[in-house]
Amino acid sequence: MNDMQWTPIGPSEPVPPPLPPSRVDFSGNRTGFRKMVTKGAMLELVTFGFYRFWLVTDIRRHLWSNTAIDGDAAEYTGRGKELLIGFLFALAILMPIYLAYFLVGIEFERWQGFASTPLFISFYAFGQFAIFRARRYRLTRTVWRGVRFWMDGSGWAYSFRAMLWGLLVFLTLGLALPWREASLERYKMRHTHFGDLQGDFEGDGWAFFKRGWWLWLLTPLAIVIFPAAPFLYAEFKAREWRWWLDGIRIGGVSLSSSLPHNAFYGLYWKVIGWWLLLSVLFGFYLAGAAGLVAAAGVSIAGPDAIGRSIPLLSMMVIGYFALALALNVVMRMYLQRDIWVKVLETVEVHNIGAAADVRASGELASALGEGFADGLDVAGF
């Protein structure tokens, strides 16, 4: 406190040297979020999905800006238009790649039937690259206390690691998964920065393995007994989240989480419940539509049947879209927002003082990575 310039005017702020862990608060309104995603889903429908870039942006803006660490809320500065442009650029790059894939595939097939199947792996590699680059885009749009996060490192180096680890996981029937996650997370976090603070990941595969090995043993059981699967998956996800959060370091700041192992049971079952309910409704709707068409005296059999099945088909399509729309809302509510909130309320931030005076640095990354991820249908965190 010898620096007078820094002393604030007004009620003096206590500055205890050993800071207690600070909490992460979420102030978002659930109803507001529901209205946002419902409206977004409808707009997605009328725009044939093009609205997804803006909806994803709105969701992130909501979640980020309502998440306060040590009393200061974060901010997401990305915009939908960037995602659209990134997507269009990614398409322009993917198109010749698809064509090349097709031509190389033909040469392989000439040599041996179905020899081109392994070429599919190259798309997996590309997907990993996209995951890394998409993460970079999101991080550089994440701002806290007027300083942005950013990332260096190479998407291809990451993809190479992910491929090798993927092979190992495949060969060990999934047992190597904890070490894969630890290694990849280390790569990602060590290339993550907040201003001039460098990130790190201290979780190790062995710790994760000890927390979840029995889940691996039970997996065959879950395939046989259907109701066990959501429990098992919820257990796995909760353990994974907690292990991941415990390992995160940025400069001298560290995180810890007390997420209980059964935290996600309710969420997954709610999603399944909604899914069943909506499917039943959809079933009734279809039956009703078929009945209506039959009552109108239109038979789908006999000559020229092709032309006459159109009314029923269009009714099915409308019902299907309504179903997809509702499921969209349900998944975003429970699997995005509620999980986010549930995880955040268990997080503690230690030694946040280390981030009190960080110098801003790092450049904005383009949304091309997100575009690739969209074009290849991969998602990552």
Partner 1 sequence: MSDASAEAPPQSAKPTVFFDGVSSRRRQVTLTLGDALDILEPGVTPVRWVYADIRRADSPPAILRLTSTSAPPLARLEIRDIALAAEIVARCLRLDEHQTTRRSVAKIVGWSVAAAVSIVCVVLFGVPLAADRLAPLVPKPIERRIGDASEVQVKTIFGRESCSDPAGQAAFSKLVNRLRDAAGLDDDSMTAGVLPSSVPNAFALPGGKVFVLNALLDKADNPDEIAGILAHELGHLKHHDNMRGLIYNGGTSFLIGLLFGDVTGSSAVIFASRSLVEASYSREAETNADTFAIDIMHKLGRSPKPAAELMFRITGKEGGSGFTILASHPLTEDRLARMTKEDHPASGPPLLTDKEWQALKGICGSAKI
| Interface positions, 337-376, toward partner 1 (CB under 8 A) | 355-360, 374
CB of 82 to partner 1, least distance (A): 13
Among 198, 309, 336, 351, binds partner 1 (CB under 8 A): 309
Please, which residue, 171 or 272, has the CB nearer to partner 1?
A: 272
Give the tokens for residue 346.
Answer: 């268990």
List C-alpha distances in Å: 246 to 226, 241, 288, 322. Answer: 31, 9, 52, 41
Give the tokens for residue 88.
Answer: 């269009």
Q: Cα separation of 5 and 149, whole Å?
A: 28
Q: Cα separation of 374 and 121, whole Å?
A: 18
Please count the other Cβ atoms lying within 10 Å of the Cβ belonging to residue 300. 15
Among 97, 110, 120, 223, binds partner 1 (CB under 8 A): 110
DSSP secondary structure letter of residue 141: T
Q: Cα separation of 207 and 329, whole Å?
A: 36
Tell me: does residue 18 bind partner 1 (CB under 8 A): no
CB of 313 to partner 1, least distance (A): 6
Tell me: does residue 47 bind partner 1 (CB under 8 A): yes
Q: Cα separation of 53 and 82, whole Å?
A: 8
Q: Cα separation of 95 and 286, whole Å?
A: 38
- Which conformational region is residue 261 in: left (phi greater than 0), alpha (psi within -120 to 50 degrees), or beta? alpha
Tell me: does residue 148 bind partner 1 (CB under 8 A): yes
Query: How many residues comprise the chain?
Result: 381
Please, which residue, 77 or 122, has the CB nearer to partner 1?
A: 77
DSSP secondary structure letter of residue 365: P
The stretch among 118-126, 171-179, 206-214, 304-312 that binds partner 1 (CB under 8 A) is 304-312
φ, ψ (nearest 5 deg) of residue 216: -60, -40
Among 23, 34, 38, 73, binds partner 1 (CB under 8 A): 73
CB of 188 to partner 1, least distance (A): 22
Among 13, 16, 18, 363, binds partner 1 (CB under 8 A): 13
Q: Give the footprint of partner 1 on residues 237-296 (CB under 8 A).
A: none
φ, ψ (nearest 5 deg) of residue 315: -65, -40
CB of 198 to partner 1, least distance (A): 15
The stretch among 237-245, 273-281, 306-314, 337-345 that binds partner 1 (CB under 8 A) is 306-314
Please, which residue, 2 or 5, has the CB nearer to partner 1?
A: 5
Tell me: does residue 117 bind partner 1 (CB under 8 A): no
Among 158, 328, 334, 340, binds partner 1 (CB under 8 A): 328
Half-sphere exposure of 20 (CA within 13 A, CB side): 3
Please, which residue, 157 or 310, has the CB nearer to partner 1?
A: 310
Per DSSP, the three-state class of 158 is helix
Binding mask 158-197 for partner 1 (x = CB under 8 A): ------------------------------------xx--
Q: What are 73's strand-pairing partners?
A: 68
Q: Which of 262, 356, 259, 341 is nearest to 22 (CA)?
A: 356
Tell me: does residue 306 bind partner 1 (CB under 8 A): yes
CB of 37 to partner 1, least distance (A): 11
CB of 207 to partner 1, least distance (A): 31
Please, which residue, 144 or 334, has the CB nearer to partner 1?
A: 144
Q: Cα separation of 235 and 372, whole Å?
A: 31
Q: Cα separation of 126 and 191, whole Å?
A: 19
CB of 107 to partner 1, least distance (A): 8
Count of chain residues binding partner 1 (CB under 8 A): 84
CB of 47 to partner 1, least distance (A): 3
